[in-house]
Amino acid sequence: MKASAGGYARAADLGHALEMLASAEGMGRILAGGQSLVAAMNMRLSTGDLLIDISRISDLSGVREADGRLRIGALTRHADIGANPLVRTHAPLLADAVGHIAHAAIRNRGTIGGAMAHADPAAEFPACALALGATMHVVGPKGERDVEADAFFHEVFETDLQPDEILTAISVPVAESGERQVLQEVARRSGDYALAGLCLVKRAAGHRVSLLSVGPRPVLAREAMKRLDAGDPEGAVAALRSEIDPPSDTQASAGYRRHIAGVLLRRAVAQITGEMA
């Protein structure tokens, strides 16, 4: 099958992109790296879109650190996040996640903002954003607003972004001294979508656990987090398995995903404690 686009326009800057989005009357679609959107267009899962290509807006790309936060422009490509020294130091979870995202050629084009806005529940970056307590920076006709990751991801491919808004950056708190961040996932082949995946962040304030591929959106495992804070990892595994409600599909049954999630939590805890010993 071949894509059916309603039209294409290249945005010179953010203001231009917002104007075009407003003029598209609900049919506008932001094109960034295109690694999910163009695939969906080719399969005619998305048709008639008025494409607003923001990929040339250079000030939406890049990583900087300020006031205890790491701010990553929405157009920063996966490969660049994986190689970026600031990310590796201050948000190693994001850098580690890159190796799990698809394949090298896709990581050369895909953008972190695109991954967040696309909100595939099987994607790594949204789950990382939840575990890190990321903030999504959004701009629309009424100006800028910030959305916490936990409020950003609504459903499969649905976020808090309104049709006239653009995600411009995400920011995460800089990792504190002694903070640990790990990602564990199980996939049948390298680059496949994970059957289940888990992010574990350990801070002075407590543990944060998020999961991907176990529901219609990335989820925080709050009960498991409490059990980990109480120093009860096996209790956390049991809590995790009872608090998630994964789907069954051709890749894995719900029961298998639930089992894997617990195994991943054990591996993540072992990775943290093993490396600290």
Min separation Cβ 189 and other proteins, Å? 7
Q: Is 250 in the site for other proteins (CB under 8 A)?
A: no
Mask for 68-97, x = binds other proteins (CB under 8 A): -----------x------------------
Mask for 11-40, x = binds other proteins (CB under 8 A): ---------x--xx------x--xx--xx-
- In whole angstroms, give the CA distance from residue 127 to residue 182: 12
- Buried b / exposed e along 76-100 (16+ C-beta atoms within 10 A): bbbbbbbebebbeebbbbbbbbbeb
- Helix (H) / strand (E) containing 235: helix 233-243
Q: Is 1 in the site for other proteins (CB under 8 A)?
A: yes
Amino acid residing at 120: D
The strands making up 180-186's β-sheet, listed across from edge to edge, are: 180-186, 196-203, 206-212, 219-220
Min separation Cβ 254 and other proteins, Å? 25
- In whole angstroms, give the CA distance from residue 233 to residue 236: 5
**45, 157 Cβ separation under 8 angstroms:** no
Q: Is 2 in the site for other proteins (CB under 8 A)?
A: yes
Min separation Cβ 77 and other proteins, Å? 9
Alpha helices in 9-155 (DSSP H): 14-23, 37-42, 78-83, 85-90, 92-98, 104-107, 112-118, 124-132, 149-152
Q: What is each CA distance from 213 to 186, 231, 241, in whole angstroms?
A: 10, 26, 14
Q: Is 195 in the site for other proteins (CB under 8 A)?
A: no
Min separation Cβ 252 and other proteins, Å? 19
- In whole angstroms, give the CA distance from residue 130 to residue 137: 14
- Binder among 12, 42, 83, 145 for other proteins (CB under 8 A): 42
Q: Is 58 in the site for other proteins (CB under 8 A)?
A: no
Residues 102-161 that bind other proteins (CB under 8 A): 102-106, 108-109
Residue with tokens 């459903």, as numbered in its chain? 155
Min separation Cβ 88 and other proteins, Å? 18
- Binder among 141, 191, 206, 255 for other proteins (CB under 8 A): 191
- In whole angstroms, give the CA distance from residue 254 to residue 217: 15
Q: Is 187 in the site for other proteins (CB under 8 A)?
A: no
- How many residues lie near other proteins (CB under 8 A)? 36
Min separation Cβ 3 and other proteins, Å? 4
Q: What is each CA distance from 141 to 55, 173, 212, in whole angstroms?
A: 20, 27, 32
Which range, of 45-53, 128-136, 138-146, 267-275, touches other proteins by CB under 8 A?
A: 45-53
Q: Is 41 in the site for other proteins (CB under 8 A)?
A: yes
Q: Is 263 in the site for other proteins (CB under 8 A)?
A: no
Give the three-state DSSP class for 63: strand
Q: Write out the residues near other proteins by the rule CB under 8 A.
A: 1-10, 20, 23-24, 31, 34-35, 38-39, 41-43, 50-51, 53, 55, 79, 102-106, 108-109, 189-191
